[in-house]
């Protein structure tokens, strides 16, 4: 009988140690998760800073190229005709707009119809 009581006490001690161990593991897991999330946030912010710097460099280079092209001194006409050709020579407004019943080709009326359509 004494052997059985000792065995039960041993089992209870092992269960208590297992509970402590599981609590410690849970706490360690939570600590690791917070450390990992902090590292992820640092990585994301570092990536964003790098992307911003790269974008600024690219913008600066493109801006300098555009300024050089726009400041052509010798025979600028071919350049501007090339630009107009690439634009397609059209504005952002449609030539005519139909509202089911009315057809309008005046720019002001087209804008007014567009606003009415959205509103």
**Residue 98: count of CB within 10 angstroms of its CB:** 10
Structure pTM? 0.29
Where in the chain does DSSP place strands (E)? 97-98, 103-104
Q: Is 91 left (phi over 0), alpha (psi -120 to 50) or beta?
A: beta
pLDDT along the chain (119 residues), means of 10: 68 75 77 83 79 84 80 71 69 65 76 70
**Residue 94: count of CB within 10 angstroms of its CB:** 14
């Amino acid at each position: 009988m004494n052997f059985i009581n000792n065995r039960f006490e041993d089992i209870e001690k092992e269960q208590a140690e297992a509970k402590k161990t599981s609590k410690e593991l849970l706490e360690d897991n939570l600590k690791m998760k917070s450390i990992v999330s902090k590292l992820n946030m640092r990585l994301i912010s570092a990536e964003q800073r790098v992307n911003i710097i790269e974008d600024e460099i690219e913008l600066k280079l493109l801006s300098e190229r555009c300024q050089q092209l726009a400041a052509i001194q010798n025979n600028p006409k071919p350049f501007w005709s090339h630009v107009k050709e690439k634009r397609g020579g059209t504005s952002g407004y449609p030539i005519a707009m139909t509202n089911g019943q009315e057809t309008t080709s005046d720019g002001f009326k087209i804008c007014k119809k567009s606003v009415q359509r959205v509103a």
